[in-house]
């Protein structure tokens, strides 16, 4: 008897769902369908973290550095020839970020030919880290070539790539790995700033920008520590970035800035920027070494 009742309920339920799926239900019925616990992935999708953050794109960071007076130094960006040497996924992801920062640096400094080389290696690395779809279905290289002389168009192309990357990562639940790309891009951006600061002394704007970029480091580290990144051997990246952060927080200039509520800009002493530069260069060397 009990079995018969169960069968009847199941059949009735089946009929109800078939009716709804065939368009027989109205909007109220549609909204009353409960979310089953078995689709836990979708539950996560519909509940963002209570505290979240937005990190600036490599193009924005490069643009800010340029506005602060950063010059183009052709020896500074990472060599594209190294790209083929990165065989482990972590290095590929980090250098996807490194080369993205380099491409932005070249494009904003009207070095389109060099920028094109970076687009080639970025496309290649994207294929290796499961993001080939970002660069498929549209001949980005042709578009790049057609606009070589037009800096604005190349910048728009870079923005398109950034947007497509962002959308792809969201659609494929890969946002946690964006912190790894960003760690590479941030380190390279800082390295380019340090390089200019050391080779063209007296640039207060660049020094101030290096300081300003330190603000986002905490959230990069937080992103790297996302439990979904636990399968990636990020220990050395996190410890290096934490060392940079704690060194920076220990600077006398930083402490006096936070003690003075009316202080507007944090200005580091030259020796403090030098100390920061050493740590940035060490980390960048580790990142770009296969």
Partner 1 sequence: MKRTLTVFAVFSVCAIFAQYVAENLTEFKENIAAQKEEAKDALDPYRFDGSKVTYFNYKTYRQTKEVEIYLFNDTDYRFSFNGKSLPNDITVQIYDKDKTMADRVMLKEFNGLQGKNLVIESTELNKAYAAKKNETIRLKRVFVDYVIPATPGASNKTPTMKDRGAITLVMGYK
Residues at the interface with partner 1 (CB under 8 A): 3, 6-7, 10-11, 13-14, 17-18, 20-21, 30-37, 39, 42-43, 45-57, 59-60, 63-64, 67-68, 155, 159, 162-163, 166-167, 170-171, 208-209, 212, 215-216, 219, 262, 264-265
Smallest separation, CB 37 to partner 1 (Å): 7
Residue 156 Cβ vs partner 1, minimum distance, rounded to whole Å: 8
Which of 54, 142 has the CB closer to partner 1? 54
Show the tokens assigned to 222. Answer: 């937080």
Nearer to partner 1, 50 or 75 (CB): 50
Interatomic CA distance for residues 179 and 226, integer angstroms: 9
CB 163, min distance to partner 1, A: 6
Cβ 143 to partner 1, closest distance in Å? 17
Between 90 and 126, name the residue whose CB sits nearer to partner 1: 126
The DSSP code sequence of 106-173 is HHHTT-HHHHHHHHHHHHHHHHHTT-HHHHSSS-HHHHHHHTTT-HHHHHHHHHHHHHHHHHHHHHTT
C-beta separation of 203 from 117 below 8 A: no
Q: Are 238 and 221 in contact (CB under 8 A)?
A: yes
Long-range pairs of 253-261 with CB within 8 A, sequence gap ≥ 24? none
Pick between residue 51 and residue 75 the one whose CB is nearest to partner 1.
Answer: 51
Q: What is the rounded CA–CA span in Å between residue 108 and residue 138?
A: 23
Per-residue CA distances from 76 to 128, 155, 179, 197 (Å) = 25, 21, 23, 12
Which CB sits closer to partner 1, 180 or 288? 180
């Amino acid at each position: 008897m009990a079995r018969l009742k169960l069968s009847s309920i199941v059949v009735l339920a089946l009929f109800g769902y078939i009716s709804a799926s065939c368009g027989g239900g109205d909007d109220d019925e549609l909204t009353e369908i409960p979310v089953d616990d078995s689709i836990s992935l979708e539950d996560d999708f519909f509940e963002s973290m209570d505290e979240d953050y937005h990190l600036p794109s490599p193009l924005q960071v490069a643009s800010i550095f340029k506005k602060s007076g950063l010059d183009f130094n052709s020896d500074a960006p990472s060599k594209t020839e190294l790209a083929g040497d990165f065989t482990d996924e972590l290095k590929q992801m980090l250098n996807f970020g490194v080369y993205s920062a380099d491409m932005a640096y070249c494009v904003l400094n009207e070095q389109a030919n060099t920028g094109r080389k970076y687009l080639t290696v970025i496309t290649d690395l994207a294929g290796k880290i499961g993001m080939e779809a970002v660069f498929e279905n549209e001949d980005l290289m042709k578009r790049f070539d057609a606009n070589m002389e037009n800096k604005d168009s190349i910048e728009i192309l870079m923005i398109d790539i950034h947007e497509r990357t962002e959308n792809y990562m969201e659609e494929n639940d890969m946002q946690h790995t964006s912190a790894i790309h960003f760690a590479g891009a941030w380190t390279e951006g800082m390295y380019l700033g340090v390089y200019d600061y050391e080779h063209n002394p007296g640039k207060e704007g660049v020094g101030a920008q290096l300081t300003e970029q330190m603000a986002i480091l905490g959230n990069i580290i937080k992103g790297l520590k996302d439990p979904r990144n636990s399968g990636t051997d990020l220990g050395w990246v996190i410890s290096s970035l934490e060392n940079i952060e704690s060194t920076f927080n220990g600077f006398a200039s930083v402490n006096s800035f936070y003690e003075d509520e009316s202080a507007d800009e944090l200005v580091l002493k030259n020796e403090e920027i030098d100390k920061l530069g050493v740590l940035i260069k060490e980390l960048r060397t580790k990142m770009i070494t296969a």
